[in-house]
Amino acid sequence: MDVVDIEGAFDSFEETWSPRLAASLNGQELKVAKLEGEFVWHSHPDADELFWVIEGDLTLELEGEPDQQLSDGQLGVVPAGVEHKPVADGLAKVVLFEPAGTENTGDADAGERQRDVEPLED
């Protein structure tokens, strides 16, 4: 069994908007990411996406719905197909949970914002 220290996971990298794979289970991936500023509008047509804020403040702007504000210890799930844009006011440390292979930019043509999920470094 692998044990992941979440605080240590966040300490292992500096890049923002570049998720790191912390664990895989049952076809799902748990990723850690540092977010700062605005991301791009996108959706995941076939996948719900869970955002769990470990530290900081995150706004999930949702197409056609009120924005959702998340702070330390709060989580929210963006349903499959809902267009959304994460916005971090300052640095936010966030855990993401979604099906394996889910692109960070979903269906958006985001060019340089698209990232492959990298494994955590020891």
Domain membership of residue 114 (yes or no) is no
Contacts of 27 (CB under 8 A, 6+ apart): 99, 100
Domain count, the chain: 1
DSSP 58-100: EEEEETTS--EEEETT-EEEEPTT--EEEEEEEEEEEEEEEET
At 57, which CATH number?
A: 2.60.120.10
Domain membership of residue 1 (yes or no) is no
- Domain that includes residue 26, residue range: 6-109
Please give the C-alpha separations between residue 12 and each of 52, 89, 119, in angstroms, as whole numbers.
19, 22, 11
pLDDT in tens, 74-117: 999 999 999 999 999 999 999 999 999 887 766 656 566 566 66
pLDDT in tens, 20-75: 999 999 999 999 999 999 999 999 999 999 999 999 999 999 999 999 999 999 99
Distance from the first to the final alpha carbon of the chain: 16
Domain membership of residue 77 (yes or no) is yes
Return the closest-CA partner of residue 49 out of 77, 23, 70, 88: 77
Model-level pTM?
0.89
